[in-house]
Structure 1
Amino acid sequence: MTLTANRGTLVEPSGTSERTAIAMALGFIGIDSGTAQGNCPAVWIDDEKKEVLFQGWKADDETKAVCVTDSPQAESEGIVRLPYRMVELIRRVRDEAEGS
Structure 2
Amino acid sequence: MSILFVGIDPNTGDHESPTVWADLENHELVLQGWKPSPELEAECAALELPGHAVGIPDTEAVIRIPARMVDTIREACDAVERAAAKLP
TM-score, L = length of structure 1: 0.69
Q: State the match for 2:86 in structure 1.
A: none
| Pairing 1:88–2:88 present | no
| Distance (whole Å) between structure 2 residues aligned to residue 40 and residue 32 of structure 1 | 6
- Tell me the CA shift for residue 98 of structure 1: 2.5
| % same residue | 36
User: Which structure is higher in strand share?
Assistant: 1
Q: Which runs of 5+ in 1 are unaligned?
A: 1-21
Which aligned segments of 4 or more residues in structure 1 are displaced greater than 3 angstroms? none
For 1:1-80, list aligned pairs within 5 A: 22=1, 25-36=2-13, 38-70=15-47, 71=52, 72-80=55-63
What is the DSSP-based 3-state SS (H/G/I as helix, E as strand, rest coil) of the residue aligned with 2:12? coil
CA contact (8 A) 2:7 2:21 kept: yes
In 2: Cα distance, 1:60 partner to 1:76 partner: 19
